Amino acid sequence: DGARALKWFDEIGSIETGKKADLVALDLNCPENTLPAPAALARRPDLDAIASSIVYSSQASHVRWTMVEGRLLYRDGKVRTIDTASLMKRVHRAQLAIAKRIKRRA
């Protein structure tokens, strides 16, 4: 177990109050994440099949929310930690500045 090997087991390694955790919630109710028939019909969940389905079949559009150290960073298609309107204004200003520099050199 990585947390024990690093001697950080009091900070990470399990989902408990007071410990650091990065979490992601995925929408698994989609065709891409359908389990193979044997795994889907098993009495107990086949965790390896579920993990494999998530790793190999999930897409960015399946992400519902992400959390880092208890802070919700992304939810329902929106980044919650960045003012995207302000960011886009800065990006457009930078694009114009770059275009002007290129035009001067041409």
Q: Give the tens place of pLDDT for each residue, 80-100.
A: 999 989 999 999 999 999 999
Residue in the structure block whose two tokens are 């929408």: 27
What distance in Å separates the CA atoms of residue 87 and residue 17, rounded to the nearest whole number?
Answer: 34
Query: What's the number of domains the chain is made of?
Result: 1
- Residue 99 located in a structural domain: no
pLDDT, tens digit (0-9, with 9 covering 90-100), for 9-59: 888 888 888 888 899 999 888 888 777 777 667 788 788 888 888 899 999
Which residues are within 8 A (CB) of 22 and not within 5 positions of it... i.e. 6 or more apart? 66, 67, 68, 69
- Residue 47 located in a structural domain: yes
Q: What is the pLDDT of residue 103?
A: 93
- CA of residue 81 relative to chain centroid, distance: 14
- Residue 103 located in a structural domain: no
Range(s) of the domain holding residue 67 = 2-81
- Residue 13 located in a structural domain: yes
- Residue 69 located in a structural domain: yes
What distance in Å separates the CA atoms of residue 79 and residue 60, rounded to the nearest whole number?
Answer: 13
